[in-house]
Amino acid sequence: MRAIYAEKLVKHFGPEIRAVDGIDLDVPQGQVFGFLGQNGSGKTTTVRMLTTLLRPTSGRAEVAGIDVFAHPAAVRKKVGVALQEVGLDELQTGRELLTLQARLFGLPARDARTRVEELLEVVTLSDAADRPLKGYSGGMKRRLDLACALVHRPEVVFLDEPTTGLDPITREAVWRYVQDLNTRLGVTFFLTTQYLEEADRLTQNIAIMDAGRIVASGSPAELKATISSDAISLKFAGGTSALQQAEATLRRFEGAEDVRVTGDEAILYIRDGASAVAQIVRALDDEGLPIASLQLTQATLDDVFLRATGHHLEAEERAKSLQEGKS
């Protein structure tokens, strides 16, 4: 049975901005589905359409078997949503907000109290539960918003960058809780993230979004298997000019499958990379291209993302978000 389905889903903002440009989705019930993309790729706009917050330009979608655009109120009863922008009433306490959410979704008073205590423990806010939200840090608000999305035990949960700004211990607790809900109760999760470790660990299938389109999809293992070569990442003391010269040299090596230049590094995808390293170092040295650093790795989801989109996920944006949301 499908939990999420979309066909030729489109959202344009005026004639110039094609935020989502005709995507198809088919997410089975009981799956953790990962949606990867840089900021501006269209992934958040997609989530907003699937959660009834934004009407599409064209196309159709269903969530929990319900037409999203024909019956939005029915969809909202079936889903939980935690978006990037956290909008909370800062005069309430954390416990008051969660209790209100639980009661609005029809939980009896006793069940609501039990559920609130459980979720406060999961997001490590028990000690701050009776403090007004105006005194919460960005990371604490993020955790509370996540708890609000789960309070009514929804069938499908949309988590848009759910662990951005969380410390490693709390992130680990959230991951365990998502896995438990998925395996024990069959809750479907639609997870957008810029943390590749999060996607690799939690998801059964992934779609990579770039410039409003899905450019790659499959399980993490299937996607990594599309890159049969090793990855050699090189940085050079000579800056941009050295990178451009190195690219041409690297492409000439036997077994080289691809070379990508991104930021301040060149990444060579080559068969049997360990055997090729010494030869590569000698050849670059002969070209007068001093290597500042070299790293040999097997293919990762970051390599898949780079091959599919031409760039890495934005590490600087992730670091900025983490710093702003620290608790």
Per the CB < 8 A criterion, the answer to whether 81 and 149 are in contact is yes
Closest CA to 308 of 222, 217, 190, 235: 217
How far apart CA 59 and CA 141 sit, in angstroms, is 34
SS3 content of the chain, % helix, strand, coil (to 5): 40, 30, 30
Q: How far apart, in whole angstroms, are the C-alpha atoms of residue 208 and residue 292?
A: 31
Domains and CATH numbers, the chain: 2-218 (3.40.50.300), 228-298 (3.30.70.100)
Digit-coded pLDDT (tens) for 39-72: 889 999 999 999 999 999 999 999 999 999 999 9
Distance CA 190, CA 49 (A): 13
AA identity, residue 51: T
The per-residue pLDDT for 310 is 85
Report d(CA 315, CA 171) in Å as an integer.
17
Q: Which pLDDT tens digit goes with each residue over 176-205? A: 888 888 998 899 999 998 888 889 999 999
Q: Provide the whole-model pTM.
A: 0.79
Q: DSSP letter at 134?
A: G
Query: Could you give the residue ranges of the DSSP H alpha helices within the chain?
Result: 43-50, 72-78, 94-104, 109-122, 138-150, 168-185, 196-202, 220-225, 239-251, 273-286, 301-309, 315-324
Contact 164, 85 (CB under 8 A): no
- How far is Cα 84 from Cα 142, in angstroms, rounded to an integer? 8
Q: What is the DSSP string of 147-174?
A: HHHHTT--SEEEEESTTTT--HHHHHHH
% of the chain surpassing 70 pLDDT: 94
Average confidence score pLDDT of the chain: 88
Question: Angle of helix 109-122 relative to helix 168-185, nearest 10 degrees?
Answer: 130
C-alpha distances (whole Å) from 197 to each of 34, 112, 134 are 11, 33, 32
Mean local confidence (pLDDT), 290-315: 84
